[in-house]
Amino acid sequence: MHIRTLTAADAEIYRELRLLSLRKSPEAFLSSYESESKLSIVTTRIRLEPSDDRFTLGAFDDKEKLVGMVTFFRENRPKINHKAHVYSVYVHPDARKQGLGRLLMLELISRAKVMPGLEILTLTLTSTNLPAKKLYESLGFICYGTEPKAMKLGEAYLDEDLMTLPLSPEL
């Protein structure tokens, strides 16, 4: 297994895993399979191109298949550019229980810690996603609130937990 930053050249394999994630776990993402499947591959390429404030990490198995991903996005407005957000964490069902989610998050956190002026990572997750919450808490994330009815999937409402990780000990 290895982890690297995805680029526009990875758009096709990323799109395949992204659509699978939306199909298999619709409750875990704000986007939907229906809306993302309509996006062009050009849009996906543009979104994947890394910058100082945005990147997507991919985890690859021994056969070079993309089996996990996580996206980092740093705010660029001056009053809030001390914060960044973690989005779209997903590990293929066949690759779970191997610590890939942890490895992806550790790599993201490691990169975030060396970014000048970056103080806080945030993320949200469906309140019922206990395995993910356990992972994030083990990495030092703290739940600071719950947004009731944050998402509506069909006729069901889902709450979301809001979590934060201070990137330096004094925070």
pLDDT in tens, 131-169: 999 999 999 999 999 999 999 999 999 999 999 999 986
Q: Which residue has the tokens 């992972």?
A: 135
pTM over 0.75: yes
Using the predicted structure, report yes or no on whether residue 98 has a pLDDT greater than 80.
yes
Q: What pLDDT is recorded for position 127?
A: 96
Residues whose CB is less than 8 angstroms from the CB of residue 96 and which lie 6 or more positions away in sequence, other chains included: none
Closest to 141 in 3D by CA, of 90, 116, 106 = 106
Q: What pLDDT is recorded for position 40?
A: 94
User: DSSP readout, 120-162?
Assistant: EEEEEEETT-HHHHHHHHHTT-EEEEEEEEEEEETTEEEEEEE
φ and ψ at residue 96, rounded to 5 degrees: -75, 165
